[in-house]
Amino acid sequence: MREELPPSPCLDGLQRPLRDLRISVTDRCNLRCTYCMPREVFGQAFVFLRHADLLSFEEILRVARQGIALGVRKIRLSGGEPLLRHGIERLVEMLAGLRTGDGQPIELAMTSNGTLLAKKARALKDAGLTRLNISLDALDETVFHRMSGSAMPLAVVLDGIAAAQAAGLAPLKVNTVIRRGINEGEILPLARHFRHTGIILRFIEFMDVGLTNGWRLDEVVTASDILAQIDAEYPLRPINPRYAGEVAKRWAFTDGGGEIGVIASVTQAFCHECGRLRLSTDGKLYTCLFASEGVDLRTLLRAHGDDAELRQRIAQVWRGRGDRYSQLRHAMTEVPARKIEMSYIGG
């Protein structure tokens, strides 16, 4: 049965419409990136969620369907590493079949570390995935190992990127977190490598997500510094965003070599346009990447509540939202006592 569009946009307390649903499908990852799942915290003794605690694909589908009825037009699957979730292609196919009230398809994206893409890229494309972001923080093998906290060969990720591009997952985006003292020397090598490839390279400021990654402001390489480095060798010009609320500011190489993006949530907060809602692996809704508490949907889903009740709960959460952490960060006198880890709700 076709979902009816809401009579008016579902707006939060700051009049921001709900447009984007990020869904974490697993809290597990096969890397231990220092800015997300540092090995000293997420070591062999760390206890991950039991399979029974995870939302089923059918439960995820129910939440997604009601999100679309409230205005969601883009769904992004994340983790952990989403390709570790058994049968992930089936979930992609289920979500790709969803339509808005006027019959339009949604944008279905995924963020991956690329290590399993060589085997899965074609199946993901065939299942209906429309966009893919791949995390890659260095082209130097030693720096890559240090950033990823693992001995995974760099070639495995590069092969995954090539497989995704060959499968037609375009435009393909490569996300790079820059942390001072570790990989700022990779900015220009990455820019050189991905010019003229059709792949969009995006640089991300090292963020204070969660409480385990040892974030310090002096380890942030600012977006303006990143752009200055690149522009000095490859002149850039700004280009317009594709849509309101796009998190990356876009820049094109003036010689036609393609484009890059910068995500500057530390130095250039974009909270005023944020339309993202996050669903954790075990069914909690979070209204901000820097949130401390979520709202339980799993209990409602497993109590066999009807879709109208589920939609009402999601709408209630969004309408009560007033988050703007990045805009307030520098005015805070102390760090919040608790923040949810990015590996739990996805980036």
How far does CA 327 lie from the centroid of its chain? 20
Q: Taking residues 40-68, what's their average pLDDT?
A: 94
Both tokens of 226, joined, read 């990143």
Both tokens of 319, joined, read 């309408």
Q: Taking residues 150-169, what's their average pLDDT?
A: 97
**Residue 2: pLDDT over 50:** no
Q: Taking residues 131-147, what's their average pLDDT?
A: 97
Contact (Cβ atoms closer than 8 angstroms) between residue 174 and residue 194: yes
CATH 3.20.20.70 fits 20-345, yes or no: yes
Residue 17 CB-half CA count within 13 A: 13
C-alpha 327/C-alpha 322 separation (Å) is: 12
Q: Taking residues 147-153, what's their average pLDDT?
A: 95
pLDDT-derived band at 3, boundaries 50, 70, 90: very low
User: Among 88, 6, 94, 11, which residue's Cα sits nearest to residue 274?
Assistant: 11
Provide the β-strand partners of residue 204: 177, 263
> What b/e readout covers 282-291, taking b as 16+ CB neighbours within 10 angstroms?
bbbbbbbbbb
Distance between start and end Cα atoms, the chain = 32
Triad 246, 312, 56: Cα angle to 5°? 75
Q: 238: cis peptide before it, omega within 30°?
A: no
Residue 78 CB-half CA count within 13 A: 22
Q: 80: cis peptide before it, omega within 30°?
A: yes
DSSP conformational letter for 315: H
Summarised one tens digit per residue, pLDDT across range 274-287 is 889 999 999 999 99
Both tokens of 126, joined, read 């065939």
Q: Taking residues 151-165, what's their average pLDDT?
A: 97
DSSP conformational letter for 344: H
DSSP conformational letter for 174: E
pLDDT-derived band at 299, boundaries 50, 70, 90: very high
Contact (Cβ atoms closer than 8 angstroms) between residue 158 and residue 166: no
**Residue 5: pLDDT over 50:** no
Query: φ, ψ for residue 35 (rounded to 5)?
Result: -95, 0
Describe the crossing of helices 57-69 and 88-96 by its angle, rounded to 10 degrees.
30
C-alpha 4/C-alpha 21 separation (Å) is: 18
